[in-house]
Amino acid sequence: MIEETAVILECEGEYAQVQTERSSACGSCASRSACETASLKEEAERSPDAVLQALNPIAAKPGERVVIGFEEAALTKASMAFYAVPLASFILFALIGQWLAASESAAALGGVFGLAVGLLWLRRFSTKVSQNEHYQAVVLRRVSESTVSLECSINPDIR
Domain extents in the chain: 2-142
Q: What is the pLDDT of residue 115?
A: 95
pTM: 0.57
Digit-coded pLDDT (tens) for 130-152 = 777 788 888 888 887 544 444 55
Arithmetic mean of pLDDT, 4-29: 77
115 contacts 47 by C-beta, under 8 angstroms: no
Q: What is the pLDDT of residue 78?
A: 85
Residue 103 has pLDDT above 50, yes or no: yes
